[in-house]
């Protein structure tokens, strides 16, 4: 699928603000893909479609999670996590993208997972550091991303966990597994 068609399809699903975010994620993902030897076309498509389901009604997302047997324990955590696996499902069924690497990068861009692929890492990090993001710690992660993908990703996940903990919100188990996996990988280097 070419970029223009993909952007047209996703623009219909998003607010103008979220569409601008998507453009930033796409551009960031392409840079990261080039820097870290990831297929740029797959990174571009995963980035374009990463928030495809972001504004679907919560009832619709919940029903898709239940009907499709998607990570049902997600329903016990913040609904902000739901759009990622639901988005992967909808990108496959509505848009027709069947590449499992692209779909997984969409599926895990909010929670992460143990054993993240390079494409998963690029999309997670691009979403976190795209130029429109402004919050404490993002600049540090942007700088790290120029030199070491895993170090930047580890810091991004750590920041997210700490943010949730400060707000007394539960942390989705896959996010904890992601952090532990990244820390263990860095220890073995």
Q: Burial level of 133, CB count in 10 A (0-12/13-18/19+)?
A: middle
State pTM to two decimals. 0.96
Report pLDDT for 156: 98
Report pLDDT for 163: 96
d(CA 27, CA 76): 33
Residues 6+ apart with CB under 8 A from 150: 121, 182, 185, 186
Please state the domain extents for the chain: 3-188
Fold of the CATH domain 3-188: Hypothetical protein af1432 (1.10.3210)
Residues 6+ apart with CB under 8 A from 94: none
Q: Burial level of 98, CB count in 10 A (0-12/13-18/19+)?
A: exposed
Report pLDDT for 189: 62
Contact of 145 with 130, CB cutoff 8 Å:
no
Report pLDDT for 186: 76
Report pLDDT for 17: 96
pLDDT in 10s for each residue of the chain, 189 residues: 999 999 999 999 999 999 999 999 999 999 999 999 999 999 999 999 999 999 999 999 999 999 998 777 889 998 999 999 999 999 999 999 999 999 999 999 999 999 999 999 999 999 999 999 999 999 999 999 999 999 999 999 999 999 999 999 999 999 999 999 999 987 766
Report pLDDT for 116: 97
């Amino acid at each position: 699928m070419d970029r223009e068609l993909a952007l047209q399809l996703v623009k219909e699903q998003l607010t103008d603000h979220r569409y601008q975010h998507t453009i930033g994620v796409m551009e960031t993902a392409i840079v990261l893909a080039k820097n870290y030897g990831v297929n740029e076309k797959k990174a571009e498509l995963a980035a374009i479609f990463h928030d495809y389901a972001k504004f679907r009604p919560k009832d619709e997302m919940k029903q898709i999670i239940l009907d499709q047997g998607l990570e049902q324990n997600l329903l016990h955590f913040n609904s902000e996590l739901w759009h990622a696996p639901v988005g992967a499902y909808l990108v496959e069924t509505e848009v027709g993208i069947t590449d499992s690497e692209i779909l997984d990068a969409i599926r895990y861009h909010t929670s992460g997972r143990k054993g993240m692929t390079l494409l998963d890492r690029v999309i997670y990090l691009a979403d976190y550091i795209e130029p429109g993001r402004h919050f404490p710690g993002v600049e540090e992660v942007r700088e790290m991303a120029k030199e070491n993908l895993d170090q930047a990703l580890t810091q991004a996940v750590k920041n997210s966990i700490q943010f949730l903990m400060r707000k007394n919100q539960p942390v989705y188990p896959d996010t904890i597994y992601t952090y532990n996996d990244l820390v263990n990988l860095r220890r073995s280097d």
